[in-house]
A and B are shown apart, each in its own frame.
Chain A
Amino acid sequence: MSTTRTYDLLIKLLLIGDSGVGKSCLLLRFCDDQFTPSFITTIGIDFKIRTINLDDKRVKLQVWDTAGQERFKTITTAYYRGAMGILLVYDVCNEKSFENIRSWYSNVEQHASENVVLILVGNKSDMSEKRVISPEQGQALADELGIPFIEASAKTNDNVEDTFFSLARRVKQTMFSDNADANGATTGGSVNVGSANNSGTGGKCC
């Protein structure tokens, strides 16, 4: 193990869902407390970090965006690797994005690790005028997939904290139970090429 660090756990989270459902907005709202109303395709966001307190642990959340590669369903398989929690996001005003959740779910099943923790998120819950998917429909789909469900609004910051916190809490419970070696489970024997010659322990990183 390495020198002191400012967090107890590092959790990698992913956002998945159709273009335009507000994945980047949720990410920016949660990590930077910012909101950009205009439609922008995802350019320039790789991942962002926010450290939160969770049951007396400092948990560093690394939240990865799709980098726009969801537009033509060209998410790299590498994107899913090491992901501990995934937010499946649809837009409550866009029926297609809701229907496509099943396909994204199947993609996650195919590429993510078996014990990855999921949550279904209906974004833009503030837009009552344009809503086409009811909370009941969202809940029904979540029940069918066997995952929790939440509605949120990146614009009004409604439920955004709850969304990320509840997912992070479940990841912590599932993957970092007291008897599981969190670091060993994810990076056993890996070499951190970003910091050369730091360990002197035969290439084991921390």
Chain B
Amino acid sequence: MSSYSATAATRRGSVVPPLSGIESNGAQNPIPQKCDVLISGTGLVESILAAALAWQGSSVIHIDPNPYYGDSNSCFNIDQLLAWVDRVNRPPSSSELAAERIFSNARLYMPRPLDSKKFLVDLSPKIMFARSDLLSLLIKSRVFRYLEFKALGNFHTYENDTFDKVAGSKEDIFTDQSLSLVTKRNLMRFMKFVLEWEENTELWKPYQNESIEKFLTEKFKLEPQQITELVLSIGLCQSLEVATPVALSRIKRYLVSLDIYGNFPVLFSMYGGAGELAQGFCRSAAVAGATYKLGTAITSVDDKLVTLNDGSRIQVAEKIVLSPSSAVKKENTKNGILTRLVAFVAKDCKEWFAENEQAALVVFPPSTLSTNNKTSVQAIILGSGSGQCPEGVSVWYLSSTEQDPTKAQRDLEEAFTKLEASILRESTEDFEFENIDESDVSYRPDGMPVLSSVKLGQSMQNFVPREKLQYLLKLSFVEKVEYSAQPDAPILPEETPEASPATVLRAPYGLSEISYDGILTQVKNLYTKIVGSDDDFFDVDFEDEDEASAGANQTNSSAPNAIDASTVNQIDSRDDDIDEFGQDMEL
């Protein structure tokens, strides 16, 4: 009867075949022969789209040419990363000439081998504002249950060789001793205004096409340092030249995100950013009935009959959606570039994190680096609590929107050097406190002395570190992103709101924006082209059946689930709250 025996088990011993050894159950379980929408590529945009369509009732087949989820948003262990770097740098074969290449110029430095499983490199690290359209959707769709989020409270601005922690809240401004009373008053007046800036048109309309710098200087008499912090750190804009309304909405985004979940404006997801969210939406799509198959590519499209490289043929009723990396090279179209520098560093960098946190953000404003950077360099610093590196290590993700790749690389290296010098200074124990007296020291609630960072920075300019920073890995690469004529401006819905006549739709490139803002607009543009409108986008009543059934069917349990039900209600009501706001934020 059975060809499997104890001998066979012994013979195979401990050799465990990889998962690719699993064969599907043959004829009982083939890939469907037809579907409404076929999507290739499991990046975040495509994955949210798949889930939205599946819940809307469309039959969806979602494939990815790669054997892993995430497409250009993936998060790799070291083994996967090495293979990816090889792929990026390999010259295209003759059959690949027409294929789109999202990444280029990957440079990897890894002095010695690392334990592959213990390090994760995120191709698209992003932060999530506590009040944002995507977070609202994560809650509404319940995809948040597949993810784990942590807080990021500290935003630092690099200026005059110091890293100041940004005073982002009214309390911070109040207690900031480096600010004069006049400055405090002006800042407070601006904070009050910006929360309702849309309604106060008479104040900013004359500056609609002027830079935010001009507006803040003339209307609020703010000092350059405050303007820099507001626009470039709190607003995360690329330069002070940004148009006034764009910058105002971005500054407001930060302020309204404070105190939603605690005293921090943004969150990050553990184990990776956009790639983790993509996996969450893929699971959601699967729960709604979508079919998933990785390592599978489209070999040909004949009208609406698609042939896959596994030999199967699929009749597509509506649309075929291709991620940029699944598509052919886009000709005669502009795209922008985003240059990244990633490093694993043998320091926990807790000096930069707020208490009990595992992440920080650092902004290097234009012209603050010796390379005379035209745009900001933005850095996300994550500790081991991110699940991306072991204890005692941190991962630094630097990015630049500078469009000249050589210059971008120089800006990033220079910013990296500044970060390195700073963490060596701050973590050196035998540092001599020259020129610092009692008045520069304040005390934290736990009794630890803290130096005023301005003074600290000044005295540290002459500091020569006695140790060198140990890199475990350093990687740089260039990514094609959406071209933006006006940097930092919100992505607007496309002009043509009706369904597209074309069968094959191409998903857009990624965005250079460091937060998730703009991604849902990209998804809804695609959704509208397929469905005709986005009125029913995730318009699903996600009844909490698990909790309900658990309560109803606990024949063997003595525990009623009253509390669970109330938690659910709480989630629902928050949801409405945030939803309302999410619409606000879409502008």
Contacts and interface: CB of A to CB of B under 8 A. Distances in A.
Contacts of B270: 190
Given A32-B549, A43-B289, A81-B271, A52 B557 contact: yes
B86 interface: no
Given A6-B561, A72-B31, A140 B16 contact: no
A102 B23 CA distance: 12
Interface in A139-192: 140-141, 144, 161, 187-192
Contacts of A106: 16-19
Interface in B136-190: 138-139, 142, 144-151, 153
Nearest to A58: B559
A203 B151 contact: yes
Contact of A71 (B29, B138, B547): B29
B546 A48 contact: yes
Nearest to A201: B262
A72 B271 contact: no
Contact of A68 (B22, B286, B357, B559): B286
A202 to B, nearest CB: 5
B133 interface: no
Nearest to B277: A78
A77 B69 contact: yes
Most buried by A among B5, B286, B555, B574: B286
A69 B12 contact: no
A78 B142 CA distance: 15
Interface string A93-118: 01111111011111101100000000
Contacts, number: 242
B556 interface: yes
B261 A197 contact: yes
A13 to B, nearest CB: 13
A67 B4 contact: no
A19 B29 contact: yes
A31 B550 contact: yes
A189 B491 CA distance: 33
Contacts of A50: 550, 553-554, 556-557
A98 B286 CA distance: 25
Contacts of B144: 193-194
A44 interface: yes
A51 B549 CA distance: 11
A46 B118 CA distance: 28
Interface string B476-515: 0000000000000000000000000000000000000000
Contact of B287 (A6, A20, A46, A188): A46
Contacts of B283: 46, 67, 69, 76, 78-79
Contact of B16 (A48, A105, A161, A188): A105
B29 A187 contact: no
B12 A102 contact: yes
Contacts of A196: 130, 260-261, 574, 577-578
A4 interface: yes
B30 to A, nearest CB: 10
Secondary structure at chain A's binding surface: helix, strand, loop or mixed? Answer: loop
Interface in B14-53: 16-25, 28-29, 31
A71 B292 CA distance: 8
A193 B2 contact: no
Given A46-B287, A197-B259, A191 B554 contact: no
A140 B9 contact: yes
B385 interface: yes
Interface in B67-89: 69
A18 to B, nearest CB: 6
Interface residues of A, number: 81
A53 interface: yes
Given A49-B547, A76-B69, A102-B12, A69 B271 contact: no
Contact of A95 (B4, B145, B296): B4
A199 B270 CA distance: 20
Given A4-B563, A51-B550, A191-B261, A76 B279 contact: yes
B558 interface: yes
A77 B67 CA distance: 12
Given A69-B283, A187-B148, A49 B16 contact: no
A91 to B, nearest CB: 10
B23 A96 contact: yes
A79 B146 CA distance: 7
B356 interface: yes
B354 to A, nearest CB: 8
A145 to B, nearest CB: 9
Interface of B: 1-6, 9-10, 12, 16-25, 28-29, 31, 69, 117, 130, 135, 138-139, 142, 144-151, 153, 259-264, 267, 270-271, 276, 279-280, 282-283, 286-289, 291-294, 296, 354-358, 385, 546-547, 549-550, 553-564, 567, 570-571, 574, 577-578
Interface of A: 3-7, 18-20, 31-33, 39, 41, 43-53, 58, 60, 67-69, 71-74, 76-79, 81-82, 94-100, 102-107, 109-110, 132-134, 136-137, 140-141, 144, 161, 187-204
19 contacts: A6-B560, A43-B289, A47-B546, A49-B550, A50-B550, A50-B556, A50-B557, A58-B559, A60-B559, A71-B293, A76-B282, A106-B16, A106-B18, A140-B6, A191-B262, A192-B261, A195-B571, A197-B262, A199-B262
Q: Which 10 residue pairs spanning A and B have beta carbons closest together?
A: A203-B262, A49-B550, A67-B286, A203-B151, A72-B293, A106-B16, A76-B279, A74-B292, A51-B559, A78-B279
